[in-house]
Structure 1
Amino acid sequence: MNKRSNTWKRLTALCLSLLLAVGIFSATAFAAPIAESTGSINVTGVEDGVTVSAYKVLDVNFNYDEQQPVDPVYVWSDEVKTWVRDNYSSYIGTDDSVTETFTENQLNADQKAGFYDALAAAIKNNTITLTASGTCTGNGTISSLPMGGYLLLIENGMKVYRPSAVNIVPEYDETAQEWKMSTPSLEVKSSNMDIEKKVNEDESDGHDSDVSDKGAIGDTVNFDLRADVPKYPANASAKNYAISDILSAGLSLADGSIKVYGVNADGETLLTKDTAYSIDTKRPNPAAASETTSFTLNFVYDEIAAYTQIHVDYDAVINGNAVVGTGANTNKAILDYNNNPYDSSSWKDTPDDVKVYTYGLKIRKVNKQDELLTGAEFTLSKNSDGSNPLMLVKTDDGAYRLALTGEQETTTLVAGENGDAKGKLTISGLSTGTYYLTETKAPGGYNKPNTSVTIEIKDDNLDGKPTSGNSSEFADGYVALDVINTQGFVLPTTGGMGTILFTAGGVAIMGAAVLLFVVLRRRKGVSNR
């Protein structure tokens, strides 16, 4: 009797050891006593809408009549045993059983993970012909599964999921002195796949680098993006990973400015072009094959697998096509990657963008009657004395923008002459700040002001809607103002009696002076005779 008891204890110990060995990623909880041969797996930690498939790779020998396991407790299923024998012969016995080599004490976590990665690859590339025993969508329960060991594969999510192993097996309840079916719960391991874009992140001027910043035509803007690196299984057949950037028409990539780093706990390592990555202008994702990018970095996954993130740093220049106001000059980054490690046609993309705003001035040249005037000329400076006026390029009648190096420049700004532009001056591509508008030539017949007009452009919300002074925001991105001219040398008169008396007195005095002059001339003439 003692011998039989010891045999059962050894069998129980072996069963528990094998349970630990196969269920390397799972946690189990007791359920009701075994009454039938099916069970369920509760799955958590996955995204909504993804498909979780359970593939049965191990059979369990259990005698339901006697309510006890039968040695060998675990055997490889018919569908996988040949593959295991050909590739991992030490894991399978002559009777197709799971050997003691495949135990917690014999294999470390990396070795077990490597085995399940390889097994998943064989299933997905049809080296092993095996149909899923059950599925669920998102977090949920896979039900009506026969007792056994299962490999769970997850597809179609934004995250990259690694294969997970879990078991539906009997466990012995020492208190009740009976075998009970376990109800396993699995929290799936996955890699988050995010990308984050920043603009001028090193400038401490109060802007939110995750969202937007401002600038003027000709300014250099710095961009940083950081993207998560997925943890693909070692035997994955689909490990495509690329980062693309699309600059709007108002931004030009600065030549030679791209720097790429691998990031881990030890810091950043500069990666070598043509070794760790190559540069293209097309996204590898077939769904976006027709889209042209400012640049696309196609990575060699094995060269970056040791890093947790990729950091890309580069510059762009705000050019003459810059959009003024809320339309913004957008910089969009896109992370393309295979979300199913065993299907090269599986692609997901994660975008992020930031905005760069520019502003402008809309000036009306008018008289006191609010009539538009032509012929006025101005300069615009950032100095209060009007010195060093800004260089601009004429784009239309009465319209100018900041000039880029090498363009035909002018400092003289002429108000519009014809049509809708008559008497108007539009200046585009400015940043926030204080500007001084100096009128250098007045319209014909009008006085030229002897002081400059001070104009302040502010955008505290960085949304492309500037304010100036105490005015409300200008929704189109242009600060608007009128510059008024007065006319000629007309002096003000009141028409009062005092003025009339002074005028009459003046005339009388002038008359007396003339009379005195005549008399003196005559006397002088008589004397000369």
Structure 2
Amino acid sequence: MFDGKRSRRDCLLPIAVALIVAMVGAFGWAAASATAKPAADVTSQTTAVLTVGKVETGVEGTAYKYMDMKWDDQVGQPVDPVRVFAPGAVDWVRKYFPSYIGTDDEPTADFINLSAEGTRDFADRLLAAIQAGTVRLPSTESDFSNFIPTSADDDAIIFKLAMGGYVIKLGNGSKRVYQPIMTFVKPQWDEGAEGYRLEVKDVDGGASNEARAKSKVIESTKTVHGKLKTHGQIGEDLLYQIKTPIPHYPTHATNQRFGVQDSPGPGLSIRQDSVRVKIEGDADLPTSAYSVTEIPADATHSAGIKVEFSSNQYREKLAMAGKIGKSLIVEYTGSLNDKAPIKDGTSNSAWPLLPKSIYDSEGGEYTSPPPPAAVTTVYTYGIRATKVMKGNGNILLSGATFELYKQSSGKSKSSKKKDARDATAVKVKQAAGTTGADASGKYIVHPEGTSAIISGKDGTVQIDGLGAGTYELKEVRAPNGYTLPANPITTITIRDDNRNDGSDGKPAEPDGKPDTTSMVNGGPATLDASDNRITFKIENRRADFKLPETGAMGAAVFAVIGMALVAISSVLVIIRRRARRSS
């Protein structure tokens, strides 16, 4: 009996093992069957990720689906015809591009084989129709940046797109105008996986999940007197030029505005009536071709200017120039005012004005200024003399009156006659916070000021707002009790030119600090680095009208002798008269 049970167990064991093996095999087959198919079956709602690179940080985009892919979710297969124009686009395509659409709304060979130029034209006109409301298509907004950009110009945006054909509208960046992008998301049979996967096909026909945005950099450059940095005196005319590439907008873009803005620091005044505008290489445009508006001053800027072209003005005057790569030239005259500092200089910035979207209605916001904008800087300088008594520099003299002249030739002519010098009088006003009674001796150049400069209570004669060049400070009245110097003119030469020898390809430009070659009366000048002024002293002798007292006793003796002789002469005359009477 026991042996019988053992015999039955021996028979069941191989059967159990066989069943287990069969179950494992079946499980493995099922697992293998599962992995042979895509991990997630493609459906009409499955999305692929499209990365659009080479865009500026902050650029946003919208993808409009103009073509559908016919797909049967029940069997997981495409249905013929696979591609058809989306219902919202069918009538528009039949009206404007009849050769592109077939009887079943499928794209024809004419559309499939479009050239790059033909593709851009189709995308341009389609986006304009969407903006006009004549075509209504489902849209997908751009998502997030999927990698850390290497620069503000090298960011990326992504789209999650279901199968279909898309035209993508990108907003403009701070300094780039982006062209439309066309792309397809289509099902592609994967032999290895024995299933479909989604493939993104870019506008050039290649299969990829990335597309590079096509754009043109629109970035202003600026000069003052042909340089990025120069120097000038308050009130002198300064010629500014802004050069900006003209954007090439797609032909049917609905918002083709364009402009240039200039924002000056507090020390610069712009003459709005001096603005001139032209296309590179051409004559000045008529003022009717653009508008110039003033940007109000604020706490940190003087009044600026904005030169703008409307869409119609752009099409009439700039469209062709932009297509062939020309630039817009804006020139104007400005001058430093009494807020110009003598340290760090007076800067102003310019940048292009681009609409945020070229397919929105005209108007709306411009993009923000590019960092950095085109910047120019103008430096101005100061001098500080101290009026002292000759022989005792501790005695400070107030009340001396001076006049300042700037030599146009840069060569001193020491004649005392103003008319004989090749020089122009420099007018000044007292610095802020001082009055005539205060007599601080601090002045700033002012074209409508006075010519009189009076030393202050501490002997100070300070004049700010000077440009580089040669000046003559002429003393016209000495302090009370003192004499005018034999040569009342102090010659000051301010130089700030050759901070760069040009060997590195950069221009020789000033740095705002007087060079060591600056001079006072032909000798090296002293620069006070703390306030960036050239300093020196001017001496006066005390007036003294006493005659020499040496030999005073001798003079008294001669006086006594003289009086004695007069007395003797008088006695002799009297005696002689009496003698005549007696005879």
Residue in structure 2 matched with residue 357 of structure 1 by the alignment: 379
Q: Classify the secondary structure of the residue corresponding to 1:269.
A: coil
How many Å apart are 1:133 and its aligned residue?
A: 4.0
TM-score (norm 1): 0.71
Task: Tell me, in whole angstroms, the C-alpha distance in 1 between the residues paired with 2:265 and 2:72.
Answer: 69
How many Å apart are 1:83 and its aligned residue?
A: 2.8
Calculate the aligned-residue CA RMSD, in Å: 4.4
Please say if 1:370 is aligned against 2:394. yes
Residue in structure 2 matched with residue 454 of structure 1 by the alignment: 491
Task: Tell me, in whole angstroms, the C-alpha distance in 2 between the residues paired with 1:272 and 1:141.
Answer: 40
How many Å apart are 1:225 and its aligned residue?
A: 0.2
Task: Tell me, in whole angstroms, the C-alpha distance in 2 between the residues paired with 1:250 and 1:79.
Answer: 57
Residue pairs, 1:197-346, within 5 angstroms: 197-201=222-226, 209-210=227-228, 212-247=229-264, 250-253=267-270, 257-263=274-280, 268-281=281-294, 293-294=304-305, 296-299=307-310, 300-302=313-315, 303-307=317-321, 308-318=325-335, 321=338, 323-326=340-343, 328-344=345-361, 345-346=364-365
How many Å apart are 1:370 and its aligned residue?
A: 2.3
2:429–2:445 Cα contact (<8 Å) kept: no
431-440 or 133-142, larger mean C-alpha shift: 133-142
Match of 2:85 among 76, 81, 84: 76
Q: Aligned AA for 2:397?
A: L
Q: Classify the secondary structure of the residue corresponding to 1:375.
A: coil
Residue in structure 1 matched with residue 209 of structure 2 by the alignment: 184
Distance 1:132 1:125, change over 3 A: same
Task: Tell me, in whole angstroms, the C-alpha distance in 1 between the residues paired with 2:217 and 2:85.
Answer: 33
Residue in structure 1 matched with residue 454 of structure 2 by the alignment: 414
Please say if 1:347 is aligned against 2:366. yes
Q: Aligned AA for 2:165?
A: G
Task: Tell me, in whole angstroms, the C-alpha distance in 1 between the residues paired with 2:73 and 2:208.
Answer: 18
Residue in structure 1 matched with residue 218 of structure 2 by the alignment: 193
Task: Tell me, in whole angstroms, the C-alpha distance in 2 between the residues paired with 1:92 and 1:325.
Answer: 70
Q: Structure 1, residues 213-268: CA drift from partner, whole Å, max 9, x if none?
A: 111234221111012322322222222222233455654545864332223xxxx2
Task: Tell me, in whole angstroms, the C-alpha distance in 2 between the residues paired with 1:295 and 1:150.
Answer: 37
Distance 1:473 1:466, change over 3 A: farther
1:92–1:98 Cα contact (<8 Å) kept: yes
Distance 1:366 1:305, change over 3 A: same
Task: Tell me, in whole angstroms, the C-alpha distance in 1 between the residues paired with 2:211 and 2:384.
Answer: 64
447-456 or 111-120, larger mean C-alpha shift: 447-456
How many Å apart are 1:434 and its aligned residue?
A: 3.0
Unmatched tracts of structure 1, length 5 or more: 1-31, 202-208, 284-290, 492-502
Please say if 1:90 is aligned against 2:90. no
Task: Tell me, in whole angstroms, the C-alpha distance in 2 between the residues paired with 1:453 and 1:353.
Answer: 36
2:144–2:158 Cα contact (<8 Å) kept: no
Q: Classify the secondary structure of the residue corresponding to 1:391.
A: strand
Residue in structure 1 matched with residue 165 of structure 2 by the alignment: 149
Distance 1:306 1:269, change over 3 A: same
Q: Aligned AA for 1:483?
A: I
Distance 1:484 1:507, change over 3 A: closer
Q: Structure 1, residues 97-153: CA drift from partner, whole Å, max 9, x if none?
A: 00122143xx44333212111212333454433333463334457465333222222
Task: Tell me, in whole angstroms, the C-alpha distance in 2 between the residues paired with 1:68 and 1:43.
Answer: 29
How many Å apart are 1:171 and its aligned residue?
A: 5.9
Task: Tell me, in whole angstroms, the C-alpha distance in 2 between the residues paired with 1:34 and 1:232.
Answer: 42
1:358–1:477 Cα contact (<8 Å) kept: no
Residue in structure 1 matched with residue 56 of structure 2 by the alignment: 47
Q: Classify the secondary structure of the residue corresponding to 2:128.
A: helix
Task: Tell me, in whole angstroms, the C-alpha distance in 2 between the residues paired with 1:400 and 1:141.
Answer: 57
Q: Classify the secondary structure of the residue corresponding to 2:119.
A: helix
How many Å apart are 1:199 and its aligned residue?
A: 0.7
Q: Classify the secondary structure of the residue corresponding to 1:371.
A: strand
Task: Tell me, in whole angstroms, the C-alpha distance in 2 between the residues paired with 1:473 and 1:425.
Answer: 15
How many Å apart are 1:298 and its aligned residue?
A: 3.2
Q: Classify the secondary structure of the residue corresponding to 1:101.
A: helix
Q: Aligned AA for 2:124?
A: D
Distance 1:145 1:297, change over 3 A: closer
Percent identity over paired residues:
28
2:403–2:425 Cα contact (<8 Å) kept: no
Q: Classify the secondary structure of the residue corresponding to 2:395.
A: coil
Task: Tell me, in whole angstroms, the C-alpha distance in 2 between the residues paired with 1:60 and 1:335.
Answer: 42
1:125–1:342 Cα contact (<8 Å) kept: no
Residue in structure 2 matched with residue 3 of structure 1 by the alignment: none
Residue pairs, 1:504-515, within 5 angstroms: none
Q: Aligned AA for 1:298?
A: F
Residue in structure 2 matched with residue 426 of structure 1 by the alignment: 462
Unmatched tracts of structure 2, length 5 or more: 1-37, 146-154, 200-206, 297-301, 431-435, 500-509, 519-523, 570-575, 577-583
Residue in structure 1 matched with residue 537 of structure 2 by the alignment: 482
Task: Tell me, in whole angstroms, the C-alpha distance in 2 between the residues paired with 1:485 and 1:56.
Answer: 89
Distance 1:392 1:430, change over 3 A: same
Please say if 1:36 is aligned against 2:12. no
Residue pairs, 1:122-141, within 5 angstroms: 122-133=129-140, 135-138=142-145, 139-140=155-156
Task: Tell me, in whole angstroms, the C-alpha distance in 1 between the residues paired with 2:243 and 2:393.
Answer: 58
Q: What count of residue pairs does the alignment treat as equivalent?
A: 454
298-307 or 245-254, larger mean C-alpha shift: 245-254
Q: Classify the secondary structure of the residue corresponding to 1:45.
A: strand
Task: Tell me, in whole angstroms, the C-alpha distance in 2 between the residues paired with 1:422 and 1:55.
Answer: 76
Residue in structure 1 matched with residue 204 of structure 2 by the alignment: none
Higher radius of gyration, 1 or 2 = 2
Distance 1:244 1:172, change over 3 A: same
